[in-house]
A = this chain, B = another copy of it.
Amino acid sequence: MRFQSRLRLLTFVLFLTCCAFQLHAADPLPSWNDSAARQNIMAFVKKVTTEGTPDYVPPELRIATFDNDGTLWSEKPMYFQMYFAVDRVKTLAPQHPEWKTQEPFASVLKGDYKTAFAGGEKAVLQLVVATHAGMTTTEFEQIVNKWSETARHPKTGRLFTEMVYQPMLELLAYMRANGFKTFIVSGGGIEFMRPWTNRVYGIPPQQVVGSSIKTKFEMRDSGPVLIRLPEVNFIDDKAGKPIGINSHIGLRPIAAFGNSDGDIQMLEWATGTSGARFALLVHHTDAKREYAYNTGAVQALKDASEKGWTVVNMKDDWKVIYPPLKK
């Protein structure tokens, strides 16, 4: 009898364990606290995926667009692509002795990024042209790949590709599990992102929209190549985002996710029409676990409150910021 009752107890414990495990496995957004942001997301997804309702959207029209910098990964102390640019400047410096005295390169080589980028857009463009052009697309992909596998964030020591938001990784997977196609629509360089977005976000190259420089087709003895030219082709920011979306996707998103003033037009484009629509802003409120700032997002936050866009309060809404490090 004692044996039997123990067996019964054991069975019961096993049963509870299974239940707990199943409950856990059934939560698609485990890193989100059960606050309004999470509830709004899940209510929207349920609404557009429930057949027979007026808000139902067929899978082929379930397009969700995500900004990258500050929305899927961190963007401080400066855009990660700028770390790529300054790392490239350091690598290329031996071939460019003139950079020792020429701005913004001189400041970059001294490690004084503040002075380097004080030149604003012009300085950024000079750095991008010097570091992102002049090679084939294949060569550039290899350069980005190598960088993304080794370059680390100055504050956390993580690889930059480990500075992605765990709650957003869960959100991407959750949207896809519900029949959405997830796209990146970023002001960042399209060919700077594509080499690693599939590995990191599960987003393949053809679903990445970004800024670009022009390319040129050339036949070489070794075969055809595309050369990256020192000339801006498209800036995928602000009013450029709906244009980039229209050009690359050809469908209007029904959900859009951003964090800054550069995302306003994308969120307007996604929501400013009839039918169930969803817009979300990530608000950086967590000085301890990430960064806390409104700079560059003041208008977007104002619009969000006026237009009923969902705002993620990072500090309160997210249980964790970054994914656990792989051992």
Contacts and interface: CB of A to CB of B under 8 A. Distances in A.
Given A223-B272, A269-B224, A251 B206 contact: yes
A286 to B, nearest CB: 31
B246 A226 contact: yes
Nearest to A205: B250
A206 B248 contact: yes
A137 B224 contact: no
B181 A224 contact: no
Contacts of A239: 216-217
Interface in A260-301: 265, 268-269, 272-273
A215 B246 contact: yes
Contacts of A249: 205-206
Interface string A22-43: 0000000000000000000000
Interface residues of A, number: 35
A18 B272 CA distance: 54
B194 A265 contact: no
Interface string A153-188: 000000000000000000000000000010000000
A215 B244 CA distance: 10
A250 B194 contact: yes
Contacts of A137: 246
B205 A226 contact: no
Given A190-B250, A205-B251, A248-B248, A242 B217 contact: yes
Nearest to A194: B250
Given A206-B249, A250-B206, A224 B272 contact: yes
A259 interface: no
Nearest to A198: B60
Interface string A217-233: 10100011010000000
Contact of A224 (B194, B224, B240, B268): B268
Contacts of A272: 223-224
A217 B265 contact: yes
A70 interface: no
A247 B217 contact: no
Contacts of A223: 268, 272-273
B243 A217 contact: yes
Contacts of A207: 206
Given A191-B250, A215-B246, A217-B239, 5 more contacts: A137-B246, A204-B251, A206-B251, A216-B243, A217-B243
A-B complex: 6 closest residue pairs judged by Cβ atoms: A205-B250, A223-B272, A217-B239, A224-B272, A194-B250, A206-B249
22 contacts: A60-B204, A181-B206, A194-B250, A205-B251, A206-B248, A206-B251, A215-B246, A215-B247, A216-B239, A216-B243, A217-B239, A217-B242, A217-B243, A217-B265, A217-B269, A219-B268, A223-B273, A224-B242, A224-B268, A224-B272, A226-B246, A248-B248
